[in-house]
Chain A
Amino acid sequence: MSTPMTEQNAVDVRGVDKNFGRSRALDGLDLTVHTGQVAGFLGPNGSGKSTTIRILLGLLRADAGRVSLLGGDPWREAVQLHKRLAYVPGDVSLWPNLSGGQAIDLLGRLRGGLERDRVRAFTERFELDPGKKARTYSKGNRQKVALVAALASRAELLILDEPTSGLDPLMEAVFTECVLEAKAEGRTVLLSSHILSEVEKLCDTVTIIRQGRTVEEGTLDELRHLTRSSVRATVDGDPHGLEGVAGVHDLVVDGDRVTLEADHEHLDGIVRHLSSLGVRSLVSNPPSLEQLFMRHYGDARAEAENGKGGEAA
């Protein structure tokens, strides 16, 4: 689904292509992040998430398409725009001879403002030891350094590229809290992630990309609506009659128990049919993000195996 370009969008990417030599990294990619919202950015490895983020940061130049970041052109106005955003790379590399605390302060100063109190608060929340040299940090600790530097800034847009991939579950919880606080402060967040439960918890909208192309874009509810719910029921009558009912897929009958996948627009008719059989128990689950994701990812793999999806991701 596409959103018209408006002033309100913190990020507006339309039809962006990016080639590296002969391989095509982005192929008409669309991405919208509404101001004040948390946007999830999902895709399998190598699908172009980091490339998109680097274009948003003006580190790479798009070959075609329109890119707007905070109302400006990230390639030409990089420095002005960067004063208003903070970035956490997927693979944080720090200066081995600087301590974590030094790196945080330096990044704050380079961004144009350092608030020592906020830095101290976030350092404590993430239980980071700022006195260690960066070369002794684990991946998770390097990520904490970049997170503290980003969160402690007052940047209106946070661009986070798989920020929790090295964090333990406790720190993930702290991260979730921090993102929700940032949202409450009115800041915008673009969150690229592999952790679907995290995205489900945090994100207002989700964009799923595959092979450099946007395959789904919208709120979680909208996306769920496009797919099916799983329904499990135990009935008194013979459930085989469900076979011909519109919107029923993957029907499995086991005695009086039945499981099926239901199209949303036909849910009403299916439930009526079940009810006519005499329902003893009924459970209906909306599709999880994982199912959404797996549907697209799974399609890609099936296509690749059939030799149709041969282009490089």
Chain B
Amino acid sequence: MNALTGTGTLVRFMLRRDRLRLSVWVLALVGMVAASVPALDDMFTTDAERQSRAALMETPTGIVFGGPGYGLEDYQLGPMLVNELTMTVLIALAVLNVLHVVRHTRAEEENGRAELLRAAPVGPGAQPAAALATAALVDLLIGVSTSVSLIFFGLPTADSLAYGVGLGLAGIVFAAITAVCTQIFEHGRTAAGTAFLVVGVLFMARVVGDIARTGGNALSWLSPFAWVQQARPFDALEWWPLALYPVAAVVLFVLAHVLAGRRDLGAGLIAARPGPSGAGPLLRGILALHLRQQRGMVFAWSAGVFVLTFAFGSLAPEVESMVETNPDLAAFLGDDTEDLVGGFLGTIGLYALMGTGALSALSVLRARSEESAGRAELVLATAVGRVRWLGSALIVAVLATVLTTALGGLGLGLGTAVTLEDGAWIGRMTGATLAGLPAALVFGALVALLFGTAPRLVPLVWVWLGYSVFMTMLGALLGVPEAVMDASAFEILPAPPGEEAEAVPFLLYLAVVLLAGAAGLAGFGRRDLATD
């Protein structure tokens, strides 16, 4: 028996276990790209339309979600796809790969199932290897299917292949990054959080590098987000940047393997410390317990959101100078730099809301894991009622969401204020971001509603979050009908400071959030407790 004995069986088992989950991911991602091709073709029919869109991709916002700006001179369907879709697909692939690898490695160790497997003739490296292998299979399936669909729509074969395979390879690197993170930390949640943080930093590195120099500087090249576009598909195709992906993946995989050899099953690289022998005065009630259970997650998210928004905020001078030095851009966007910076920051603020929306859902979901682990049973058998138990969890979720959203706005405002030396941005951006708060809270409220009434349907919340993010990022570009767009949680309220905030929709949205939360509470008081 060697370290990898049993990998093949585990690969089949993981695919069997996740057949629905992975199918949804593959269909959603490939379907999105395939549907975008004819949609983009319809939206931008004349050269003038295409070039005005290309001008938009040269703006800082365009660079953040577009890329280094290859192929903008002649913005035909191929370059358009690469510039408009790559970041969305890569971010989705990062989420898919991080969650998949954590789910099949660290999470399995944490819940004790890994022990059962490792007691069978299964090598110590088999589970990580199988998790990576299945991730790679799915990534390549997504990549190749993307290539096939592009070729089907008549795009050049070699470029289509390079682009699709490049996306798939990037996914594999995200999986390998996660494999390293899962070796270091004892908890699946911490490992996933760290992996997302690394991915976020890599994304930011590309953004900063690409904004600093058209085509990207050395900083961009450090990021796997850059390489697929640096191969310049549909522009001036070069294959060699794609070779960076397998090199990075192999290095990371070996690193993960070495780390795995240095630790016990279930342990992290950092040993657990003993705790106090009794509860302190703060750990008094159920609200205190929920707060304590979630404080790590809330701190990590707060720090992450603040650092990222601060970084984006501090790009404000670049936004200004780009307009000042590029008369074409100024002609296209107008030369009111304050509006321009405001528009840029408003877009970033919307993305911060998407993040805090995910946090509000995750926070309420902790109630579900407490229930299925049996800890809710232990607490509800004491003098704690159902409504108080879930209600306290909801209070924590609201606090976490408000805090991170405010910090997101503060980060944007502070970054801008420091670099532009104008303190007014702090209040302006904090207020503007908080004006979108209901759109973040609604995801937690929906989890609460389903948790209380139909717990099996809770994953639908993620589907809606994915839909909302997609529609807000790409809906307008793809000419999606307004009614379909409006089903996005982020399209319901205006996005200040670019748009005027309105009180009535804000309050109505908040009322819906409260109603959903209350219905969830009522439902939870009525249903049987489930333990698996």
Q: Identify the A interface with B (CB < 8 A).
A: 54, 57-61, 78-80, 82-83, 85, 87, 89, 91-99, 101-107, 109-112, 116, 119, 130-133, 135-136, 146, 159
Partner of B285, one of A96, A109, A135, A136: A109
Distance (whole angstroms) from the CB of B453 to the closest CB of chain A? 15
Check if B156 is an interface residue, CB within 8 A of chain A: no
List 14 A-B residue pairs with CB atoms under 8 Å apart, sorted by A's residue number. Answer: A58-B380, A89-B374, A98-B292, A99-B276, A102-B279, A103-B279, A104-B278, A106-B283, A107-B378, A110-B382, A112-B382, A132-B274, A135-B186, A135-B272
Distance (whole angstroms) from the CB of B261 to the closest CB of chain A? 22
Interface residues of B in 364-388 (CB under 8 A from A): 373-375, 377-386
Q: Are A79 and B384 in contact (CB under 8 A)?
A: yes
Partner of B378, one of A58, A89, A130: A89
Tell me, in angstroms, the Cα distance from A58 to B278 when the chains sit together. 29
Tell me, in angstroms, the Cα distance from A268 to B490 when the chains sit together. 87
Q: Are B374 and A110 in contact (CB under 8 A)?
A: no
Check if B286 is an interface residue, CB within 8 A of chain A: yes
Which applies to chain A's interface (DSSP): helix, strand, loop or mixed?
mixed
Q: Which of B284, B292, B383 has the most CB of A within 10 A?
A: B383
Q: Are A79 and B383 in contact (CB under 8 A)?
A: yes
Check if B293 is an interface residue, CB within 8 A of chain A: yes
A interface footprint on B274-301 (CB within 8 Å = 1, 0 otherwise) = 1111111001111001001100100000
Tell me, in angstroms, the Cα distance from A233 to B382 when the chains sit together. 55
Residues of A within 8 A of B274 (CB): 99, 131-133
Residues of B within 8 A of A131 (CB): 274-277
B-side interface residues, number (CB < 8 Å): 35
Check if B528 is an interface residue, CB within 8 A of chain A: yes
Q: When A59-B528, A82-B382, A111-B383 are in contact, do A89 and B377 touch as well, CB less than 8 Å?
A: yes
Check if B222 is an interface residue, CB within 8 A of chain A: no
Q: Identify the B interface with A (CB < 8 A).
A: 110, 186-187, 272-280, 283-286, 289, 292-293, 296, 373-375, 377-386, 528-529
Given contacts A89-B377, A131-B275, A133-B275, 11 further A-B contacts (CB under 8 A): A60-B528, A80-B383, A99-B277, A102-B275, A105-B283, A106-B289, A109-B284, A110-B383, A119-B278, A136-B272, A146-B378
Tell me, in angstroms, the Cα distance from A101 to B274 when the chains sit together. 11
A-B pairs, top 10 by smallest CB distance, nearest first, are A99-B275, A105-B279, A87-B381, A101-B277, A93-B374, A110-B382, A130-B277, A59-B529, A102-B279, A131-B277
**What is the chain B residue whose CB lies nearest that of A123?**
B277
Partner of A116, one of B278, B286, B373: B278
Q: Are B286 and A102 in contact (CB under 8 A)?
A: no
Q: Which of B272, B276, B278, B528 has the most CB of A within 10 A?
A: B278
Q: Are B374 and A102 in contact (CB under 8 A)?
A: no
Distance (whole angstroms) from the CB of A149 to the closest CB of chain B? 9
**What is the chain A residue whose CB lies nearest that of B529?**
A59
Partner of B381, one of A82, A94, A130: A82
Q: Are A82 and B277 in contact (CB under 8 A)?
A: no
Distance (whole angstroms) from the CB of B33 to the closest CB of chain A? 40
Residues of A within 8 A of B529 (CB): 54, 59-60
Q: Are B374 and A107 in contact (CB under 8 A)?
A: no
Tell me, in angstroms, the Cα distance from A171 to B292 when the chains sit together. 32
Partner of B275, one of A80, A98, A112: A98
Distance (whole angstroms) from the CB of B114 to the closest CB of chain A? 14
Residues of A within 8 A of B373 (CB): 93
Tell me, in angstroms, the Cα distance from A207 to B382 when the chains sit together. 25
**What is the chain A residue whose CB lies nearest that of B387?**
A79
Tell me, in angstroms, the Cα distance from A104 to B502 when the chains sit together. 50
Partner of B375, one of A87, A94, A112: A94
Distance (whole angstroms) from the CB of A116 to the closest CB of chain B? 7
Distance (whole angstroms) from the CB of B360 to the closest CB of chain A? 22
**What is the chain A residue whose CB lies nearest that of B273?**
A133
Residues of A within 8 A of B293 (CB): 95, 97
